Chains A and B, each alone.
Chain A
């Protein structure tokens, strides 16, 4: 079974702090994604990465950066946390291959509160 893990389930940070959210997958997937999920808005893509050191902006990249130094690990960084970044953050990974399923496997989520 594919396993996607996230470094924390719950996190409380103060405004202005630098926040690191880490995601690790164990299935050698090329694609990794960071989403945030807010009530009424659904899942919104922040960044995705299709290979080591490669990244592309999603729909809402402002205030975030990412790092992918190793294939299995994808980090989301909030350079200076703000209260409007209080949200549920979900990481996912998927395989790029001959089977056109593109199925994404999700981590358990990190509920971040910025006070």
Chain B
């Protein structure tokens, strides 16, 4: 049983397209995290959100706590957005995370 489900698993887009990645979770959470992993391995945190919407540049993250669903949107996508995007939620103790399997995004010029 996966506590966190992401879709799609792979996504290819043309430069400039609007992109949406979805995350559904089954556990009660205090906050949800969106992470980005570029080729080469390093993972960085993009957003932590517990309600509503957050925006950072061309990236927008939304969450609906009642529906246990979050989305990550990328507006005016660019080849440098090509990466794996991972959704993560903390366990009840907060000491561990449940991770989605990631969405591999490729943006073609």
Give chain A's interface residues, CB within 8 Å of chain B. 9, 31, 33, 40-43, 45, 48, 50, 58, 88, 90, 92, 96, 100-109, 111
Contacts and interface: CB of A to CB of B under 8 A. Distances in A.
19 contacts: A33-B96, A40-B9, A41-B101, A42-B101, A43-B86, A43-B99, A45-B97, A50-B95, A58-B96, A88-B41, A90-B43, A101-B31, A102-B30, A102-B31, A102-B97, A103-B48, A104-B88, A108-B42, A109-B43
Given A41-B101, A101-B31, A101-B48, A109 B96 contact: no
A90 B31 contact: no
A42 B100 contact: yes
Contacts of A9: 41
A42 B97 CA distance: 12
B40 interface: yes
A50 to B, nearest CB: 6
B94 interface: yes
B21 to A, nearest CB: 14
Interface string B65-109: 000000000000000000000101010001111011110000000
Contacts, number: 57
B12 interface: no
Contact of A108 (B30, B31, B41, B96): B41
Given A42-B99, A45-B96, A106 B44 contact: yes
A111 B101 contact: no
Contacts of B30: 100, 102
Contacts of B42: 106-109
Contacts of A106: 42-44
A88 to B, nearest CB: 6
Given A42-B100, A96-B95, A106-B44, 5 more contacts: A90-B43, A103-B33, A103-B48, A105-B45, A107-B42
Contacts of B101: 40-42
